[in-house]
Amino acid sequence: MRVLALDVGDVRIGVAISDPLGMIASPLEVIDRRKVKAIKRIVELAKEKKVEKIVSGLPLSLNGTEKRQAEKVREFIEKLGKSLHDIPIETVDERYSTVSADNMLKVTTKKNAKEKRKVVDKVAATIILQTYLDMEKRRR
């Protein structure tokens, strides 16, 4: 089962995709919300990649409560859901995904801060997706 993951931010949305078996997450792209209609692009990707489910990171506070950014993400995925119709959307706690992605990039790359911003969101989406895939594997 192909799963698409989103790391939804105010400016950019990181996107990752699973392999057809739903075991391995890979970075796909970063959608710049200032330049592209994000919902339209995600719908295109879902159709093109034959996605059966979408997972969105939900930015909870450290104590597990939802603050304004989590509300914004919920509002976005609600609008997205209306455009997708038959593809379910789930959320996953993403408290540490961007920090983990940023730390991973510090260790593995020599990119400057501007170049890292272009990559960190899709790496965060990959971490969100792999977390989800691993949770699903344990449930089976």
Kindly compute the dihedral angle of the four CA atoms of residues 128, 41, 17, 134, in this order, to the nearest 10 degrees.
30
Q: What is the pLDDT of residue 94?
A: 78
In 3D space, the residue among 33, 5, 29 whose CA is nearest the CA of residue 17 turns out to be 5
Model pLDDT, residue 110: 60
- Give kind and range of the element (H or E) at residue 3: strand 3-8
User: Exposed (0-12), middle (13-18) or buried (19+): which is 124, by Cβ within 10 Å?
Assistant: buried
* 53 bridge partner residues: 3
pTM of the predicted protein model: 0.85
pLDDT at res. 126: 94
The token pair that represents 13 in the structure block = 């949305």
Domains of the chain are 3-139 (3.30.420.140)
* Mean pLDDT, each 10-residue run in order, the chain (140 residues): 96 96 95 96 97 94 79 96 94 68 55 66 91 88
Identity of the amino acid at 23: M
Taking a C-beta distance cutoff of 8 angstroms, is the pair 59, 23 a contact? no
